[in-house]
Structure 1
């Protein structure tokens, strides 16, 4: 008799264990074992445990190729899914082979697992494995299909409800439960206070502090105290929720007729606008992409979205200050240029309308489109194109955790036609038009942070912590990806003959960027360097970039006067006519305000099963070299975290969103 030793691990997550019977069949080059039940004395497959089993065969099976795992019911018990992590099989020759699974298995389900070194399709050398891989990809293409969302937008997965998702990509049970509890508790608190659904207007700015007396962060408190200040307003263009909105301005746009006399009082004494333009100290936020989009109808009348222009100046104290605002693209008597020297409430209103447009741009383009929706494309293409044994699938899958689930929920509850985000001034239809416009103009280089920073002329702007931390993070991710990709692709020819890799990038180009060659996105890969760059961009997008535009939402959005997606009165068309009463009337009513606040509180929560960047609790790689690369990646992230934490101790406003322990390994909320 020949013996195989099996270590079978059940996941350490909520309700991972099972009472059902588990059967194993081993397949090798010389034959297969009998279907054998794994059954020790006592309880098998309890949550977070590893069971040791022995399987006997009459003869050696040769090189071990596949394991078939079947889950049959215990007759008297109701259905229970099993979260099966991995099997490590020690062969009679003493070789220990890892067979990763890391997914839920339902009653009656059969799973076939590949083990050992990650392999590209052309490296398969056994007819059984070649056929198995072919059949696996056929089934994947049936399970994961593309669907059109709207004209001019990225394609999405075909699933209409999160309950339709395969178990391996659904939310964990604990996360689903926690989200429901946070929603219930928050809604109950607001109802008890009489705020939820209220149609009343705010009577004073101070009243907004009563929305959540106990739900606060250090940053949200700071925002509520400093929202009127120009230096903090400018700071947010660099280190707030939308740090990709401004660019260096070498000459003023012809439709923004700011004169020397207008802004001279706000420049360094003795200097001029032209001198500051030449020095590179003038910056511009221009929301021209929104121009002409029809806003949402509210109480029978269209709302107002101002596709405005905001001129900013880095002053001698190295602070970025707003110095001129025009709320619409075409100058006119009813579209004056507002200045810091105007009536305080005029200037506040102008800044609020610019921030309203910036907020819509943030949520629709930089958050939803460029992180959530593009990542959905990367995920669906991966699930359709890569075998589970492919090295890039093993590398990328941990970065796709929960994203399809949150996107599907989001399309129903957040940014769908009836979603909270679609209650913005622009509304759902306008948001879709804006995203389609943005996608048509998006470039590959704009998603690659080093090129993005250079193209916008922001290499030397002081106090730009998003840039500093982001570039460090980009370089660390790039070094890790370079090591992993270089290990599996020693030459460019390996890239060119990897059919799964080529199909993957082709699907992304077709379904994500709609075949737009002008975008600069690759439709195929010819070199190892091209693969390294694209995967660096992908991992940075789903980790650091998403954290930068997502993690601070409660900090900045919970104080509506600072940043609101909805403003309900028209923008000012003349100067000297406003008051604090005007500002209160412009803000959303009480019920709408608290709905937004409740939403961003939900998004700000830390959930018990979060996985931080660089943490790979699932053991997917068999090769020791890959495990060492992960350790080096984690060490580099730890060094960056220490540097960021040390710097933040010296700052009045610490920038924490790109501190690696604060970044999730995937878009999971």
Structure 2
């Protein structure tokens, strides 16, 4: 077809015969002043991303052959047309050139096409364009660059980064704007109409089931976690919209309600990953292949009950701690060949081929987690147990002890006396000569407190097969900057009822004999609490869930021309998609999370109750450190804070990253908002903030701690917190998952039996074989394999990651000062990298590496950002919550 000689007249006749008249064009006056504008259009064809879509590719070439392909019409930013509703004058439609003759390689990334526009100098400067795709398939439009633009503008750049579907699927024109930045009142009048219409299109009408080509950002409750039609076991409460279970909003899909519960939304089939999010929010092809690998590698065990039963029939146990090491050294042998045969019968080979070695006899080999790379047993030390509260995967819970014994804030009318039973006699003989009173006065006592958060749910959690406690752990700050555990309190609800208070036992450090084994078990129960709280609250709720409303509101209320949209948009990349997939296969009823963390089916419900205590302003790192008592105000110190544990790696590195973000945001916002009045008069900004409070986080809208949006300072504070949460905070609590928790004995997620009592067979077993008793207490084999598979993928950086201090395109704005400020930000992050390296090599800072010799790099920015940072590096701060 490409070599067939066809005259232009013949093509025009056939074009008119098939399609009627071409686009209606509005031309400039007369021939005098006519000029040509040359354009370069960079896009990615669908058939590059989907090599099986041969039909679409052939149909697209058929359309091109008859001259009806992809058209672009420039819109004047300087001259309005009354006949166009005062919108900018439209130039004559121009078509992409050489689509047929451009041979696209299946492995190619992008193609560039030329387009030539007829323009009139009297129409001024183009500020936007309309694109119409008459092809059969969609394509990804990356950018358009115009050359030879009149009126002194030699080039105009349009950064698009959007999927363009066939024109018949849209009820409006797709419009893209140049990379100019305008506050609403500064928008050139010819572009104002298009700016406002685009926001209306993105909001949708709130009706119907959304399709993949819909570009609608809308809100809904978390009503899609349960599957009530499958039976009561799979029913879950709706999260959001009630005082009992408040929750941030998620993106709406519009699926039909379930039959048994009209308040719950029906779910997709398990193997379907085509859950709706706006198409531009979906992963890149590279990223999506990573997620598919996760589905194949992690979830095959829960696709069919038969597979789980295979593990249960074969005891589902590690016989010893050493057995776990086989995951990384030689894999786990399947019990027998019959078991492997049954697995193959249950699940298609394509889904398990990555799990089974070529010899077909061994299952699931994993990379060696960092925590055991240097030493297989250092994780068991008291020093490492405490150090990970400062530099591990969840270093955001520990707080300074302000009163002794620790008191509960649970309502005594409902829960009775929940105050701690730890006494001075329990701990003072291990406090280096200090009294409790003096240690508190000198800021030496700290606590890891998981008591009040868990106690209200503990009776229900322990009815599921889990057997765990609510815990308090007291620690003493040593002269060398390390923490020493003093006591662990494990508590259960009173057997006569929760209103009778807690039944507690206190355990103190021991190294030898059965007492040493009991102490190790006590630490394991604490690790179980911390692991579950980390996944549900620190990680899911405090990053993924709370950020999604910001993503939705930003697209609904802030134009792409808006400076705050340009500031925040990089920090929302992939978040809606990873959250949608999480609702589909991770946090749903019977999903991976319920199978691998101790709260089981109460996991998400418990997170909703804890959301009642969430406070947006306290998500700022300095405010969080002050709240937890880990720092005190001190104007003589960097960042205006004095850390009470000087060698607190998360806080030390985090404050430098926080300060760099804050400076960047201050410089950027000051350029566009010189006065408070500019903030007050910005109607898009005010609508954005109002919608966030009243809808996105509507269940917490009346809280007094929300900042206003009346001053430049409030705008800066808000944007800094958003960027911190989406980038550095998420990095700190996500990418250390596999390095520390990939070895489950270090951070077990479930406990299956209580502390052994003297005189019982369990106690005798503990005396004889600690390793076997320990493994029978913590996460079973099936859940370990599932959990480790999950966090291996969640801890990986994709090869197309965009890190803090980077943009996916250097032409994201035309304003020189913001570009200069961003360059200063990038250079500051590079300086912080050098400081982190120096601190990690300083032997005086014992909490930087600890007994396991794992340097703290979870807040290492990785400003170089090349592909060598991909994978399980344990460092790097992506711009967004992208995994």
In 2 relative to 1, CA 184–472 (structure 1 residues): closer, same or farther, beyond 3 Å?
same
Could you tell me which runs of 5 or more consecutive residues in structure 2 were left unpaired when the two chains were aligned.
1-33, 51-56, 62-68, 81-88, 205-215, 223-238, 240-244, 256-272, 330-365, 408-418, 495-500, 631-642, 843-848, 863-875
For 1:204 and 1:487, how far apart are their aligned partners in 2? 61
> What's the counterpart of residue 435 of structure 1?
607
Instruction: Confirm whether residue 341 of structure 1 aligns to residue 510 of structure 2.
Output: yes
For 2:286 and 2:179, how far apart are their aligned partners in 1? 31
Count of aligned pairs between the two proteins? 659
Is the Cα–Cα contact under 8 Å of residues 3 and 92 in structure 1 kept in the other structure? Answer: no
Instruction: Confirm whether residue 211 of structure 1 aligns to residue 327 of structure 2.
Output: yes
In 2 relative to 1, CA 448–513 (structure 1 residues): closer, same or farther, beyond 3 Å?
farther
1:307 aligns with one of 456, 470, 477: 470
The aligned runs of 1:467-478 (5 Å cut-off) are 467-478=651-662
2:483 aligns with one of 302, 320, 325: 320
Root-mean-square deviation over aligned CA pairs: 2.9
> What's the counterpart of residue 7 of structure 1?
40
SS at the partner of 1:506? Answer: helix
> What's the counterpart of residue 144 of structure 1?
217
Deviation at 1:479, TM superposition (A): 0.7
Higher deviation after alignment, 79-88 or 148-157: 79-88
TM-score, reference length from structure 1: 0.91
Deviation at 1:188, TM superposition (A): 8.8
The aligned runs of 1:87-106 (5 Å cut-off) are 87-88=145-146, 90-95=148-153, 96-106=155-165
SS at the partner of 1:336? Answer: strand
Deviation at 1:519, TM superposition (A): 5.6
SS at the partner of 1:377? Answer: helix
Instruction: Confirm whether residue 567 of structure 1 aligns to residue 751 of structure 2.
Output: yes
Deviation at 1:545, TM superposition (A): 0.3
TM-score, reference length from structure 2: 0.70
In 2 relative to 1, CA 5–16 (structure 1 residues): closer, same or farther, beyond 3 Å?
farther
The aligned runs of 1:109-188 (5 Å cut-off) are 110-126=173-189, 128-142=190-204, 143-149=216-222, 150=239, 151-159=245-253, 162-181=274-293, 183-184=295-296
SS at the partner of 2:427? Answer: helix
| Cα-to-partner distance string for 1:17-39 (whole Å, 9 max, x where unaligned) | 98663211012216321111121
Higher deviation after alignment, 129-138 or 12-21: 12-21
1:658 aligns with one of 836, 847, 859: 859
> What's the counterpart of residue 55 of structure 1?
117
For 1:40 and 1:627, how far apart are their aligned partners in 2? 35
Larger radius of gyration: 2
SS at the partner of 2:42? Answer: strand
1:286 aligns with one of 449, 460, 465: 449
Instruction: Confirm whether residue 81 of structure 1 aligns to residue 139 of structure 2.
Output: yes
> What's the counterpart of residue 240 of structure 1?
392
Is the Cα–Cα contact under 8 Å of residues 470 and 492 in structure 2 kept in the other structure? Answer: yes
2:97 aligns with one of 28, 39, 45: 39
| Cα-to-partner distance string for 1:631-662 (whole Å, 9 max, x where unaligned) | 11111111111211222233443101000011
For 1:474 and 1:513, how far apart are their aligned partners in 2? 27
For 1:455 and 1:575, how far apart are their aligned partners in 2? 44
SS at the partner of 1:335? Answer: strand
Deviation at 1:534, TM superposition (A): 0.8
Deviation at 1:235, TM superposition (A): 0.5
SS at the partner of 1:461? Answer: coil
> What's the counterpart of residue 697 of structure 2?
512
Is the Cα–Cα contact under 8 Å of residues 346 and 575 in structure 1 kept in the other structure? Answer: no
Instruction: Confirm whether residue 606 of structure 1 aligns to residue 797 of structure 2.
Output: yes
Deviation at 1:630, TM superposition (A): 1.8
| Cα-to-partner distance string for 1:155-200 (whole Å, 9 max, x where unaligned) | 1111376542222110111211233235535779999xx9996232
For 2:733 and 2:773, how far apart are their aligned partners in 1? 30
Could you tell me which runs of 5 or more consecutive residues in structure 1 were left unpaired when the two chains were aligned.
none
> What's the counterpart of residue 836 of structure 2?
644
> What's the counterpart of residue 632 of structure 1?
824
For 2:448 and 2:110, how far apart are their aligned partners in 1? 52
> What's the counterpart of residue 233 of structure 2?
none
The aligned runs of 1:389-538 (5 Å cut-off) are 389-424=561-596, 426-458=598-630, 459-510=643-694, 511-512=696-697, 514-518=699-703, 520-522=705-707, 524-538=708-722
Is the Cα–Cα contact under 8 Å of residues 198 and 589 in structure 1 kept in the other structure? Answer: no
Is the Cα–Cα contact under 8 Å of residues 297 and 789 in structure 2 kept in the other structure? Answer: no
In 2 relative to 1, CA 464–14 (structure 1 residues): closer, same or farther, beyond 3 Å?
farther
Structure having greater relative contact order (Cα 8 Å, sep ≥ 6) = 1
For 1:515 and 1:231, how far apart are their aligned partners in 2? 40
> What's the counterpart of residue 64 of structure 1?
126
SS at the partner of 1:423? Answer: helix
| Cα-to-partner distance string for 1:395-439 (whole Å, 9 max, x where unaligned) | 111111111000000112111212211224544542223222222
For 2:386 and 2:786, how far apart are their aligned partners in 1? 27
Deviation at 1:53, TM superposition (A): 3.8
> What's the counterpart of residue 379 of structure 1?
551
1:249 aligns with one of 391, 396, 401: 401
SS at the partner of 1:600? Answer: helix
Is the Cα–Cα contact under 8 Å of residues 13 and 48 in structure 1 kept in the other structure? Answer: no
Is the Cα–Cα contact under 8 Å of residues 116 and 622 in structure 1 kept in the other structure? Answer: yes
For 1:626 and 1:11, how far apart are their aligned partners in 2? 29
SS at the partner of 2:473? Answer: strand
Is the Cα–Cα contact under 8 Å of residues 393 and 736 in structure 2 kept in the other structure? Answer: yes
SS at the partner of 1:284? Answer: strand
Deviation at 1:294, TM superposition (A): 4.8
> What's the counterpart of residue 86 of structure 2?
none
In 2 relative to 1, CA 173–257 (structure 1 residues): closer, same or farther, beyond 3 Å?
same
Is the Cα–Cα contact under 8 Å of residues 70 and 111 in structure 1 kept in the other structure? Answer: yes
